Amino acid sequence: MEIGVKFCGGCNPRYDRGRELTALKGKFPDVTWVCGSSDQVCDYWLVICGCSRRCIATQELLVRKKILLLESPIDFQKAVKQIKKDQRSRGKQERKALTVGDEAAMEKKVTKEVVEAFASLTGDYNKMHMDTEFASRQWFQKPVAHGMFSSSLLSSVMGMKLPGDGTILMEESSQFQKPVYLGDNITAKITFHSYQEERVFYIGTFHGVCTNQNGEIITEMKAKQMMMKHLFQVKEKGE
């Protein structure tokens, strides 16, 4: 955990701010303390005021959790409780470690019920998907699953496995190589390709491939995911 510290000008301090901060730091030996660098992203910023006037700017502070305004010893006690509570929560849910090159996959059998459920969810009842007689007279000669169905399988892998809980889809493009028919067994696989680091999150690039039971590629996807730093820890392969 990183905690930043910023003092007001101290024109009229009503208590010993340095002593209170020293006592607070002593309770958290594992914390990384940041002083004198307002442009660094921290989990918390402690804005230490000498009185209730709070004559200090906080707009430029970059924070993952919260800015805590401390203007009395009682506020320091509240800050201790807040930080301890956060540490207990972090102990229960550590950041997920991701390495470039990681892979994850899932399998799905395409049934009539699955296609009907997808149509109901999206409102897409195109006869190419739903009407056997109509589809038999078209190019593929039988009903095909929605193209976005296979893309949604890849999205499910990203949402549930890689990166997993908390990720947010930012961008996606898909190419549909072959049709998906009723009875097909689809394997959707995601690979973590690369990432870009921002101040409070990573932008991960992921490549996805869906294959059928014959090993044929039916769908290829490229996607970008936002991964918050308090949820994910990312590194290159070999680091």
pLDDT tens, per residue, the chain with 239 residues: 889 998 887 777 888 989 999 999 999 888 889 887 677 888 899 989 887 777 777 777 888 888 898 988 999 999 999 988 887 776 555 789 999 999 999 999 999 999 999 999 999 999 999 999 999 999 899 999 999 999 999 999 999 999 999 999 999 999 999 999 999 999 999 999 999 999 889 999 999 999 999 999 999 999 999 999 889 999 998 77
User: C-alpha 84: how far from its chain's center?
Assistant: 24
Distance, in Å, from the CA atom of 135 to the CA atom of 143, rounded to the nearest integer, reads: 5
Distance, in Å, from the CA atom of 21 to the CA atom of 237, rounded to the nearest integer, reads: 40
pTM assigned to the model: 0.64
Q: What pairing do the DSSP bridges indicate for beta strands 32-35 and 103-109?
A: unpaired
* Architecture in CATH for domain 97-235: Roll (3.10)
Residue ranges of the domains in the chain?
2-94, 97-235
Residue with tokens 């409780």: 81
**Residue 175: which of 151, 153, 158, 194 has the closest Cα?**
151
